[in-house]
Structure 1
Amino acid sequence: MDKVALRRINLRTAIDAELRRKGFKNDVTFCEHYDLNPSHISQLINGHGSFGERAARNLENKVGWEIGLLDLESENESLPITKGDGSIFISPIEFKSADTKGRTSNVQIPVYKDVKASCGSGIENFLEDVSEYLEIDPYILKIMGIQTNPKNLRIIYSAEYSMYPTVAPDSPLFVDVSDKDPNALKNGSVYVFTHNHELRMKRVFVSYAGSKTVKLTSDNPDKNRYPDEFITNDQLNEINFVGRLELALVKP
């Protein structure tokens, strides 16, 4: 790839990493933070400005990126981004087939593309057949807010609007399958579970005032369509919990 074209791609990737890591709202706030000209940065990204060796090194130095970062190449044209203090590391994200074993430091999360929460029947053994794996750097999971061990994660999909706006239909769901003990639920968290041969997803609230009661609620404010449900502790133990929702990638 042409060196200048590579720098433009890497600059876009590097800025995106900074937006996620430091919570900048957009490119303009990123530029304001580092005293950069937003118009000039936009021109560099979109191919309307000169992006030579000197300009690349000056930009890396001003932002605090590792010198030479904007010239790095990878097989997938995806930029591994590092700083001298190791505070950023973004590696390529790649889907692998079900029989592929990872050969990098990345982790592989099983993906079940045909499994959707709040969907029909016959899903008792739905976590047996993996569709594919999401190969991802564990650090990306951390900056996405996932705290559990990546080995505990499974990816399924949402089916409808009961948990909207927290979860949109057809959004990938990162589920922690290690957190499924009905006697140790995290109050107020969203859980995926099977009940009466249906895979469901609800926010769970446990009350210990008097006798133990449990409220299963949808995040959708339309309570006529998605009413709250109340069950007893005995009924809670009849539910087969799959795991706790760690993250939902909400589609716009």
Structure 2
Amino acid sequence: METINKIRIARLNILIEEAGGLTRFAEKIGKHQSQVSQWVNESPDSATGKPRAMSSRSARDIEEICRKPRGWMDQPIEHIHKSSAIYDQEPVISSKRISFEEDTNASAFFHILDVKAACGEGHFNNDYHEIVRSIEMEPNEAQHLIGSMNRNNKIQIVIASKDSMAPTIQPDDLLFVDMSIKDYAGEAIYILLHGGELICKRLSIVGKTLMVSSDNKFYQSWPWDDRMEGTRIIGRVIRALPMTFKKFGSV
């Protein structure tokens, strides 16, 4: 009987082929190529010497991103119902066939992180976050709407909460954040790690002082020099996708 890790490797190879190669698959699920390659090749862990294995949580995340049924990664291929033509043709693909070439026609992916950027009091977040889902766009559409095809995954999505940046940003808006920007780069809206919380604020220079402010005037501004120890810029907000429904009647 195959081990669960062998089954997941076989499934992983199928998904890599469906995506058009390792590069595109890694981009789709928000992982580095090296991590996916280590899963496929069962590379030894430098600390334990044991083969690296995919966790159940990673398997469930991949199923969701790739729109597969829950548990699909754990199901042996030979047990799939043979009436389905697509499963009749599913091979176990050798890792030597995986392509590392960049496909400029590949879809653009923007990953939604498992955090909320608080426009107000703040929500506690860890410094590293899991991807909960992804938005897929055609390359030209992504370039037009976001200004980038996000080939290097530097643009991530976080969800706004509270109202301190209203009316510019409303609670539950999807914020497209350039995570490569870690320093002040002109007046703009930034995501900050402040007091163990992620907050969404506007940074601007007033006179000679860098100020942290809210677009909602009910919230007070404060000088950057008065920040708590450890406060830093996580990224700059480049787009916000409104998620407010307009209600015209009851159901």
TM-score (normalised: structure 2)? 0.50
Aligned residue number for residue 231 of structure 1:
224
CA contact (8 A) 2:175 2:237 kept: yes
Aligned length: 148
Report the AA paired with residue 61 of structure 2: A
Aligned residue number for residue 98 of structure 1:
61
CA drift of 1:138 comes to 2.8
Give SS of 2:224's match: strand
The reply on whether 1:217 has 2:213 as its aligned counterpart is yes
Change (3 A) 1:114 1:140: same
Unaligned runs of 5+ in 1: 1-93
CA contact (8 A) 2:213 2:220 kept: yes
**Alignment deviations for residues 193-245 of structure 1 (CA, whole Å, 9 cap, x no partner):** 11111110111013573xxx21111112xx2x21111232x849842211000
Report the AA paired with residue 233 of structure 2: F
Any residues of structure 2 matched to 1:129-168 within 5 Å, and which? 129-147=130-148, 149-150=150-151, 151-168=153-170
CA drift of 1:134 comes to 1.4
**Alignment deviations for residues 37-78 of structure 1 (CA, whole Å, 9 cap, x no partner):** xxxxxxxxxxxxxxxxxxxxxxxxxxxxxxxxxxxxxxxxxx
CA contact (8 A) 1:146 1:247 kept: no
CA drift of 1:111 comes to 0.8
| Distance in 2, Cα, partners of 1:235 & 1:186 | 18
Change (3 A) 1:168 1:95: farther
**Alignment deviations for residues 110-132 of structure 1 (CA, whole Å, 9 cap, x no partner):** 1125433346454133x431111
Unaligned runs of 5+ in 2: 1-27, 31-59, 68-102, 245-251
Give SS of 1:128's match: coil
Give SS of 1:162's match: coil
CA contact (8 A) 1:189 1:203 kept: yes
CA contact (8 A) 1:214 1:236 kept: no
Please provide the CA RMSD for this pair: 3.3
| Distance in 2, Cα, partners of 1:168 & 1:201 | 11
CA contact (8 A) 1:95 1:134 kept: no
Change (3 A) 1:237 1:145: farther
Any residues of structure 2 matched to 1:1-252 within 5 Å, and which? 98-99=61-62, 100=65, 105-118=106-119, 120-125=122-127, 127-147=128-148, 149-150=150-151, 151-181=153-183, 185-206=184-205, 209=208, 213-220=209-216, 223=217, 225-232=218-225, 235=227, 238-252=230-244
TM-score (normalised: structure 1)? 0.50
CA contact (8 A) 1:189 1:204 kept: yes
| Distance in 1, Cα, partners of 2:122 & 2:200 | 13
